[in-house]
Amino acid sequence: MTRRRTHLRPGDVVAEVYRSAVAQPVTTVMTALLLAALCATVLLTAGRTDASQRDVLAAVDSVGTRSIIFTMDAGAGVDPTVLDRLTALDQVEWAGAFGEAIDYRNSALGSAAGNVAFRTLWTTDPAGVGLDRPSAPTSAPIAFASSSGLSTLGMQHGRGVAVTGTGRTVGVGGGVNTPQYLRFLEPLIVVPAQASSPATDTVAVLVLVANSPAAVEPLTHTALTLLGESDPTKVKVQTSRTLADLRGILDSQLAGSGRVLIILLFASSAVLTSAVLLGLVVLKRKDFGRRRALGASRRLVVTLIVLQTAVTSVVGAVCGSIGAYAYLAITRSPLPDIGYCTALGTLSVLIALIASVLPAIIAARREPIRELRVP
Q: What is the DSSP string of 313-352?
A: HHHHHHHHHHHHHHHHHHTTPPPPPHHHHHHHHHHHHHHH
Claim to verify: residue 215 and residue 273 sit in the same structural domain: no
93-116 burial, b for 16+ CB within 10 Å, e for fewer?
Answer: bbbbbbbebbebbbbeeeeebebb
pLDDT category at 122 given cuts 50, 70, 90 is: very high
pLDDT category at 154 given cuts 50, 70, 90 is: confident
pLDDT higher than threshold 70 for residue 21: no
Instruction: Give the domain-ending residue among 206, 223, 240.
Output: 240
Claim to verify: residue 328 and residue 212 sit in the same structural domain: no
The DSSP letter of residue 372 is H
Claim to verify: residue 225 and residue 332 sit in the same structural domain: no
Instruction: Give the domain-ending residue among 211, 240, 269.
Output: 240
pLDDT for position 64: 55
H helical segments located in 64-131: 82-86
Position with higher pLDDT, 174 vs 23: 174
157-161, 174-178, 321-325, 347-351: which has the highest mean pLDDT?
321-325
pLDDT category at 250 given cuts 50, 70, 90 is: low
Is residue 4 domain-resident? no
Claim to verify: residue 53 and residue 172 sit in the same structural domain: no
pLDDT category at 322 given cuts 50, 70, 90 is: very high
For the ranges 118-127, 130-139, 344-353, which has the lowest average pLDDT?
A: 130-139
pLDDT higher than threshold 90 for residue 263: no
Element (H, E) at 54: helix 48-62
pLDDT category at 301 given cuts 50, 70, 90 is: confident
pLDDT category at 151 given cuts 50, 70, 90 is: confident
Claim to verify: residue 79 and residue 200 sit in the same structural domain: yes
pLDDT category at 12 given cuts 50, 70, 90 is: low
Claim to verify: residue 336 and residue 228 sit in the same structural domain: no
| pLDDT, averaged across the chain | 77
**How many domains does one find in the chain?**
2
Claim to verify: residue 194 and residue 258 sit in the same structural domain: no
Is residue 2 domain-resident? no
**Residue 278 CB contacts under 8 Å (≥ 6 apart), including other chains:** 358, 359, 362
pLDDT higher than threshold 80 for residue 313: yes
213-217, 314-318, 352-356: which has the highest mean pLDDT?
314-318
φ and ψ of 238, to 5 deg: -125, 120
pLDDT in tens, 196-227: 666 678 899 999 988 877 788 889 889 999 99
Claim to verify: residue 77 and residue 221 sit in the same structural domain: yes
Is residue 3 domain-resident? no
pLDDT for position 318: 92
For the ranges 1-10, 101-110, 203-212, which has the lowest average pLDDT?
A: 1-10
Instruction: Give the domain-ending residue among 195, 224, 240.
Output: 240
pLDDT higher than threshold 70 for residue 25: yes
pLDDT category at 339 given cuts 50, 70, 90 is: confident
pLDDT higher than threshold 90 for residue 269: no
pLDDT in tens, 41-85: 888 887 877 777 676 666 555 545 688 899 999 888 899 999 999
Contact 141, 170 (CB under 8 A): yes
pLDDT for position 175: 82
Is residue 255 domain-resident? yes
Query: Taking residues 133-150, what's their average pLDDT?
Result: 71
pLDDT higher than threshold 70 for residue 145: yes
Is residue 180 domain-resident? yes
Claim to verify: residue 265 and residue 356 sit in the same structural domain: yes
- As a whole number of angstroms, the distance between CA 77 and CA 79 comes to 6
φ and ψ of 205, to 5 deg: -140, 130
Find the angle CA(284)-CA(288)-CA(290) to the nearest 5 degrees: 115
pLDDT in tens, 275-290: 777 776 666 656 666 6
Position with higher pLDDT, 67 vs 265: 67
- As a whole number of angstroms, the distance between CA 264 and CA 278 comes to 21
User: CA–CA distance from 65 to each of 8, 254, 348 (Å)?
Assistant: 61, 18, 35
- % the chain with pLDDT above 90: 11
- Domain membership of residue 171 as a residue range: 67-240
pLDDT higher than threshold 50 for residue 97: yes
pLDDT category at 137 given cuts 50, 70, 90 is: very low
- % the chain with pLDDT above 70: 72
Is residue 87 domain-resident? yes
pLDDT for position 288: 62
Q: Model pTM?
A: 0.54
